[in-house]
Amino acid sequence: MHITIWIVQGILALGFVYSGWMKAFRADQAQQSWSWVKDVPRGPVGFIGILELLGAVGLIVPQAAGITPWLTPVAALALAVVVLLGALFHIVRKEYKDIGVNLVFLALAVVVMIGRF
């Protein structure tokens, strides 16, 4: 089970690094990839990206270093909240096809959260 949770953490962290990097540092590419980015000011999009990058670090580093490993499930919880809010945002905008990715990330975050608490 321990290895499985590490694999889930790695997949989740990679997903958030990609998503966060695009939102925080590649806004033009993010606009091409995600239609909603064109409708939201760059500041909030970049902020979400930074949160996702910090969350990705929080998924891996505390547990791997053995220093304050309780931060890993907290990071998973925080990312689950970010993803849930993103899903609600897509629902309000009637972007139902985009919710699937949110649900996958939410499920992975919940697995990490439960597995590490």
The one-digit pLDDT tens for each residue of the chain (117 residues) are: 789 999 999 999 999 999 999 999 998 888 888 888 888 889 999 999 999 999 999 999 999 999 999 999 999 999 999 999 999 999 999 988 889 999 999 999 999 999 998
C-alpha to C-alpha distance for 105 and 83, rounded to whole angstroms: 7
C-alpha to C-alpha distance for 8 and 15, rounded to whole angstroms: 11
Q: pTM, whole model, 2 decimals?
A: 0.90
The structure tokens listed for 109 are: 């975050």
pLDDT tens digits, one per residue of 91-115: 999 988 889 999 999 999 999 999 9
